[in-house]
Chain A
Amino acid sequence: MTDIIARPLAGTRPFRLQGALKEAGLAAFVMFALSLALIAVRVEDVPGGLAIRWRPFDVIAAVVLVFLGRLGLAFLRNNRPAPVALASGLFSAVMALLLIVFVSGGGGVSWAQSLLPFSGFVVNVLVLIISLVLTLRAGLMWRRGERADAGTGVGDTMDRLAASVQGVAVYVIPVLLVAAIIFPFLPFADRRILDIAILVVTYVMLGWGLNIVVGLAGLLDLGYVAFYAVGAYAYALLATEMGIGFWLCLPFAGAMAALAGVLLGFPVLRLRGDYLAIVTLGFGEMIRIILLNWYEVTNGPDGISGIPRPTFFGLPFVRSPPEGVESFHSFFGLTYAPVDRIIFLYYVILAMALITNQFTLRIRKLPVGRAWEALREDETASRSLGINPRNTKLTAFGIGAMFGGFAGSFFATRQGFISPESFTFIESAVILAIVVLGGMGSQIGVVLAAVLLIGLPEMFRELQEFRMLAFGAAMVLIMIWRPRGLLAHREPTIRLFEKGAGKR
């Protein structure tokens, strides 16, 4: 409420340097307190105990940069872009120059290194990026002479984009679909790119599956990975113990996962909101702990290896098939290429994901789908209209779990090896993040979020240690920027009048 009142006044208020300095000083002080322990000192283990290493320069650099950055923002907010643009532009240029010298010298240029503010290379690049963004923003403001409080244009643009994405979905979706289908044959799609694509599509499928539970039925599930795990272990055990093939196992694995979903859901689905969230989280952890400790069946932390690969209607993808079995390449008269198997896997998961998508879109229009959305909006009202909340939620939970189980079987057959390590809470969090970041209930949003959250970090595997840091930061920033999700724009499921009829 306070910011509604404060906003119109901000433009008319005269700029006070003192206030800006005070604000920047406070930010710098907080940064100092934050860095005092964790950044200033590094605990290192040496033979015979722990030693500490001081990093005073990083603290000084962090404090100074936070002070300047905050000061720059205060200037921008008070419509003084010129000094900010000049200062941060100069700073970016110097930083860029130093980094270039540093990199071109193969990391051995000591004077450039000592002039850079931080000891970590990636941190310096990050500082450069932030400073460039600040320069760009200040520069644009300077040139246009616009005011900072004229309303943030980006949010509106995204809203319009989200609305138009739905508007042109009829054209965009076929294009995307064709792109997805011809993707493996594009010139740049080598083995690594294909592997990433398979991973992304797996998460798209998981996102669409979880979307049934979270987006449609409004049940917050923090343990979705449990069903993924049940599907994966169901297939792995059936395949390695009884020698049943992937395609026969698939429905069974889905049924097992759905059963697990119903078994969990039965007692807990009368809980609401956060209670349900914590119980599902607990259930996810329980499944993982059981997988970890039930040696006789799951082989504990060592996992299950040697899981058979899927076959193309009984034709395996191997160079020299066993006696009496024809392999894929000889049947079609092709020369053997290891990438064939990857392409086949890509199509399998693409088909599975598309089935999930179509299923979701269609079930939304059935009575049960309508009941899910009604329950999400108002449980009490739907109950009084004769919807049985428990059974309706159970179907959502079971069906969502089933798709998780399918994806799990695929995961097992793709990896050839599974262990409880793959089914930690972080996976559930990632899948939920994909659903929420994409914009709840938006099918295209899930694809966009999966590409952003899974695809991009995979491309930058070299920055291994910074990957998860950036992942966490991205989740926070996207949510602050677009609290309803990237492509959140919900059309009413049913209209009383046809679209446009009311406008005239």
Chain B
Amino acid sequence: MLGTFEYFVDQAINGVTLGAIYGLVAIGYTLVYGIIGMINFAHGEIFMIGAFVSIIAFLTLGLLGLTWVPLALLLVLIATMMLTAVYGWTLERVAYRPLRRSPRLAALITAIGMSIFLQNYVQLLQGARNKPLQQVISGGFEIMREGDYVVTLSYLQIFILLLTIVLMVVFTLVIGRTSLGRQQRSCEQDRDMAALLGVNVDRTISLTFVMGAVLASVAGLIFLLNYGVIDFYIGFLAGIKAFTAAVLGGIGSVPGAMLGGLLIGLIEALWSGYFTVEYKDVAAFSILILVLIFRPTGLLGTPDIEKV
């Protein structure tokens, strides 16, 4: 069974689903890093808050008697995007904007502090026990069969992949084609010059955080749907892995973040499938170290030219 192609396909499907989560969170890291050059350590917590808002929205809708799944999913998606976006905006406004011109280490410490704060905030408000949610989308269809071993592609996985692809396309278009995207890219290149040319830098940075939070909240929703159980601590590891994905793909590059997320997801799933589950994180970090040694700017990153 372990050697069959079907087993590989099964693991790969899991890996792509996981990669969708990492990729969506990684875009938030890479956007923020590109524009203000800081590791937004609290981004993983935004992802966790997205998952919590989703579970609360599901339960509230269930209480209101709304059980038609497509409509419920749509409403939850909108609710979690909007409410989590407010957290992203507030995070930037309260914790990072006052430090815009400070040493970079100060911003990093604030980010770590914010991450600790948000974790404990959610723990206090929602309790430390993990929250299981019963399956929302069930069923699927068989794509392969080898003896007793059936590879199924569930409707949930199709939903996740479609949602991720749609979001990534939309955000690529926003960054590449709209005036907001142009402003973001101009702030990335030179903030002072952009300000002189009439770009509202503060607003652009705020919107970048909002965009990152929206994507992370969707990742939180996907996490909730896929694993069915969340707790206040899920943001930490997912955040680190997503940041690893962003660095792997080349930090600052949006396609790089997607690629990195996909790769980390695949590595993790295949490693757990063929070797040991316990060391899957070690595998992901080792790949990161190897990539950084041989290609320090990541897979799709452009090297910084160092000027004296």
Contact = CB atoms under 8 A, between A and B. Distances in A.
A456 interface: no
Given A433-B109, A475-B110, A38 B53 contact: yes
Given A50-B131, A52-B60, A289-B278, A480 B99 contact: yes
Nearest to B57: A37
A483 B113 contact: no
B244 interface: yes
Nearest to A1: B195
Q: Which of A38, A51, A479 has the most CB of B within 10 A?
A: A479
10 contacts: A33-B82, A41-B59, A52-B63, A275-B247, A277-B108, A282-B244, A286-B281, A436-B105, A465-B120, A472-B116
Given A1-B192, A268-B293, 10 more contacts: A38-B53, A38-B121, A42-B126, A275-B296, A279-B288, A290-B282, A465-B120, A469-B124, A475-B116, A480-B99
A52 B279 CA distance: 37
Interface string B57-88: 10110010000000000000001001100110
A440 B288 contact: no
A483 B104 CA distance: 9
B281 A220 contact: no
B131 A274 contact: no
Interface in B108-159: 108-110, 112-127, 129, 131-134
Interface of A: 1-2, 30, 33-34, 36-39, 41-45, 49-52, 120, 214, 220, 267-268, 270-271, 273-275, 277-279, 281-283, 285-286, 289-290, 292-293, 380-381, 425-426, 429, 432-433, 436-437, 440, 465-466, 468-469, 471-476, 479-480, 483-484
Contacts, number: 184
Contacts of A270: 296
Contacts of B279: 289, 293
B39 interface: yes
A483 B293 contact: no
A469 B117 contact: yes
Contacts of B82: 33
A43 B127 contact: yes
Given A37-B57, A278-B243, A479-B106, A468 B116 contact: yes
B236 interface: yes
A309 B252 CA distance: 51
A49 B135 CA distance: 12
B86 A480 contact: no
Contacts of B288: 278-279, 282
Contacts of A273: 104
B289 A268 contact: yes
A476 B244 contact: no
A381 B240 CA distance: 33
B124 A465 contact: yes
Given A282-B244, A285-B281, A271 B292 contact: yes
B91 to A, nearest CB: 10
Nearest to A488: B103
A285 B120 contact: no
A485 B256 CA distance: 35
B59 A50 contact: yes
B292 A381 contact: no
A296 B187 CA distance: 53
Interface string B219-255: 0000000000000000010001001100100010000
Nearest to A45: B129
A493 to B, nearest CB: 18
B39 A38 contact: no
A432 B112 CA distance: 10
Contact of B109 (A44, A267, A289, A436): A436
A211 to B, nearest CB: 13
A480 B96 CA distance: 9
A476 B117 contact: yes
Nearest to B123: A465
A290 B275 CA distance: 15
Contacts of B49: 38
A122 to B, nearest CB: 9
A373 B63 CA distance: 62
A284 to B, nearest CB: 10
Contact of B296 (A51, A271, A483): A271
Given A282-B288, A436-B109, A480 B56 contact: no
Contacts of B121: 38, 469
